Structure 1
Amino acid sequence: MIYSAEKIHLRNPAEVDEIKKFLEKFQLDFEKNIDYTVAIRENGQIVATCSKSRDILKCFAIDPSMQGTGITNILLKSIQDKLFEEGIFHSFIFTKPVYETIFTSLGYKVVEKVDKVVLLEGGMGGINKEIKKIASEFSIDSSKPKTALVMNCNPFTLGHRYLIEQSSKSSEEVLLFVVEENKSLFPFKVRYDLVKKGVSDLKNVKVIPGGQYIISSATFPAYFLREAGEFLEAYTTLDAKIFANYFCKKLNINKRIVGDEPYCKVTNAYNKALLKILEKSGISLETVKRKEGENKTGFISASKVRDSLRRNKGVNTEELSDLIPGTTIEFLLTKEGKEIVEKIISSHTPH
């Protein structure tokens, strides 16, 4: 029999429901951020499906009776044709370890794997090229040991500044990776610029875009969902292993510093996974107690900043000066800053 992949119309509830029911057989959820889905049918029934979210292939499932028939190639070609149409020439596959050999036989390479998930990539580029590019662009000397931090900074606070300052004092060189995924209320470009301005006096700190391999939709989707589901441990461990086995080894990072996490379960779980994985690789993890506000407002956090903006329906300079540096306040008062503040006031997004 000749099989062909059909496009699923994501605005058609009946078609999406059919995919959801098929995926349930494989303990897979049809994720909200999916933008393209294909399926293969036999006698009118779905026997295989694959979806994508931007450059990430996911929700891949084939009925056991159909495995070995070559329909994986058909699914993959259909998704890749869509990627090429969108000008995307490098892609990731998030799948169960049982499917690893299927994709490696089709040219994909394993980036990292844990018990429940495996992350593969294919096409132009790749993680080793990405790290080589970072080393070149930011003049990173891999012969010298370094300290690393990874931050989202949504927005940049005095708490972030304190953590970076402590790292700067205790380390010869600090690599500060700013999460690049654009799923926060403050866009990446804004967050990156605020961090750079906020630490411009710390000459041994290099501010680096986090890219696709550090807390991204490919490595750690649960971070952006803020959901402590059954795959949380898998995602946190996957991201931690990628950091240890690639970034630490290639850039000679021997220490990572994190702030303690009394609020968020996801970040707390991530810190625990980091500790476990980094120690195995001989890399130390230092946890620094969060900075408290001067006006007895408790620990400083970006969520408190956003809460203040919502509660005051704008910038309360006196209240925020206890939480954020002058550079962040200045930005909030610009035209672009005011537009973001308006979004925050009308939003309940947790991250």
Structure 2
Amino acid sequence: MFDLKLQKINLKNQYEKNEVYKFLEEFGLTLDKDVDYTIVLRDINDNIQATCSKAKNVFKCFAISEDIRGENVTSSLISNLIDKLFEEGIFHSFIFTKPDKVKVFNSLNFKTIHEVKDAALLEYGIYDINKSLDDMAIKYSIDNSIEKGALVMNCNPFTEGHRYLIEQASKSCEKVLVFIVEEDKSLFSFKHRYAIVKEAVKDLENVTVIPGGEYIISSATFPSYFIRKEDEKLKAYESIDCGIFGKYFCSKFNIIKRFVGQEPYCNVTNTYNQTLKEIMPQYKVELIELERKKYDGYYISASKVRELIKNDKIEEVRNIVPEATWNFLNSHEGKEIAGRIKSSNSPH
């Protein structure tokens, strides 16, 4: 660490950001758009020799010059990020990295959660995935002795199509767990999405709606900095997410069936379903793909709801959403979200 000084980058300063961009480019890496904290190590000539960043509690965008490797540089960078998280009251973190870097982070007390061909996910902190799922079982009274079906949904917002898939699962399984993606990367916040789904399926006595937690990963937060090709990035994300669900969720909660809707419109979701078909059987889980519910000749989807809202056809939305969703859309908060959809270039 001789003659190296640690500096926090001002991410609002384009010159400083460009310095980091250029340094990362030397390693074939990029600076992810969602980073909220970046540090660098500079030499006596003020040149960047190492950098790393974080986005909330995900560490990313690591690069270290060949000249200074082996001088505990990684440890110094990681310690700084962990200290920063502690300042923010966060005591658990993740790293997505290349498989050949796993041993380095293992030596710094990061535990490997899952590893695939092009990426690995590790964690560090006061709990791990097994403890998290044990706590989830207690909080939501999950009886692990009962075989179950499961669905993972975003519900942005919840539609009659979502309701139909859950109904079909509830008819074929003694117990069904519905995991709602918890990351707030959607127009409808997790708080609202979760509350709407709970209300909309409360009549289905064998269905339990559960927050997905940190381990059901959104493609929106999967890092792109070390995988440049979009198809490879997507495959790595899908393989990690599906693998974690099979390896941990299914084995822990005795899930033997996972239900998904066929995807006639979105190529990304369709390839995700194909990955599920490859991976779920490895964990003795049957992947059941159901044809989606139709209305007036088209498949019901959350994107269709947002499209109707954007085009000022709110009354038509009533035909394809449950009462719980309709009531929310007519609330003060729901109308605010509708306003944002109308003013956006493309509803997400």
TM-score by length of 2: 0.94
The 1:229/1:30 distance shift into structure 2, 3 A limit, reads farther
**2:178 equivalent in structure 1:** 176
1:144-223 matches, cutoff 5 A: 144-216=146-218, 220=222
For residues 83 and 284 of structure 2, the distance between their equivalents in structure 1, rounded to whole angstroms, comes to 43
Instruction: State the identity as a percent.
Output: 52
Cα deviation for residue 275 of structure 1 reads 1.1
Aligned to 1:347: 344
Match of 1:237 in 2: 239
Q: Secondary structure at the match of 1:344?
A: helix
Contact 1:38 1:50 in 2 (8 A): yes
Deviations 1:118-142, CA, capped at 9 Å, x for gaps: 1111011111111001110111111
Query: 5+ residue gaps in structure 1?
Result: none
Change in Cα spacing, 1:221 to 1:173, as seen in structure 2 (3 Å) is: farther
> What is residue 58 of structure 1 aligned with on the other side?
60
8 Å contact from structure 1 (residues 220, 238) kept in 2: no
Q: Distance in 2 between matches of 1:268 and 1:337?
A: 29
From 132, 135, 150, give the equivalent of 2:134: 132
Shift in CA distance, 240/219, structure 1 to aligned 2, threshold 3 Å? farther
Query: 1:332 is matched with which residue?
Result: 329
Deviates more, 1:65-74 or 1:105-114: 65-74
Please, which runs of 5 or more residues in structure 2 have no aligned partner? Answer: none
1:212, 1:218 within 8 Å by CA — same for their partners in 2? Answer: no
2:180·2:194 contact (CA, 8 Å) conserved in 1? yes
Pairing 1:1-351 to 2, within 5 Å after superposition: 1-42=2-43, 43-216=45-218, 220=222, 228-293=230-295, 295-296=296-297, 298-312=298-312, 316-317=314-315, 319-351=316-348
SS at 2:114 equivalent: strand
TM-superposed CA distance for 1:281, in Å, is: 1.8
Deviation at 1:229, TM superposition (A): 4.2
Equivalent pair of 1:9/1:16 in contact (CA under 8 Å): yes
Distance 1:16 1:271 in 2: 37
Q: Go from structure 1 to structure 2 and tell me whether the alpha carbon gap of 1:335 and 1:291 turns closer, same or farther (over 3 Å shift).
A: same
Structure 1 pair 270–220 and aligned structure 2 pair: CA distance change class (3 A): farther
Moved more, 240-249 or 35-44: 35-44
- Judge which range, 227-236 or 193-202, deviates more: 227-236
Q: Give the C-alpha shift of residue 2 in structure 1.
A: 4.2
Distance in 2 between residues matched to 1:204 and 1:300, nearest whole Å:
24
Deviations 1:157-203 (A, max 9, x none): 00000000000111110000000001100000100011011111100
Relative contact order: is structure 1 or structure 2 higher (C-alpha 8 Å, sep ≥ 6)? 2
Paired letter, 1:24:
E
Residue 94 of structure 1 aligns to a residue whose secondary structure is strand
Give, in whole Å, the separation in 2 of the partners of 1:109 and 1:204.
35
SS of the residue 1:69 aligns to = coil
Compared with structure 1, are the counterparts of its residues 178 and 219 closer, same or farther at alpha carbon in structure 2 (3 Å cutoff)? same
1:57 to partner: Cα distance: 0.2
Q: Which amino acid aligns with 2:16?
A: E
How far apart in 2 are the matches of 1:142 and 1:220? 30
Contact 1:147 1:256 in 2 (8 A): yes
Deviates more, 1:211-220 or 1:341-350: 211-220
Q: SS at the partner of 2:193?
A: helix
1:82 Cα deviation after fit: 1.1
Partner Cα separation in structure 1 for residue 72 and residue 217 of structure 2: 34
Query: With structure 1 as the length reference, what TM-score do the two structures score?
Result: 0.94
- Alpha-carbon distance in 2 for matches of 1:25, 1:350: 36
Could you tell me how far 1:58 is from its partner in structure 2? 0.4
Q: CA RMSD in A?
A: 1.7
Deviations 1:101-121 (A, max 9, x none): 111111110111111111111
Q: 1:196 to 1:183 in 2, by over 3 A?
A: same
Contact 2:341 2:347 in 1 (8 A): no
| Contact 2:307–2:347, Cα closer than 8 Å, also in 1 | no
* Amino acid aligned to 1:316: I
- State how far apart, in whole Å, the 2-side matches of 1:134 and 1:52 are: 27
Task: Give the residue type in structure 2 aligned to 1:86.
Answer: E
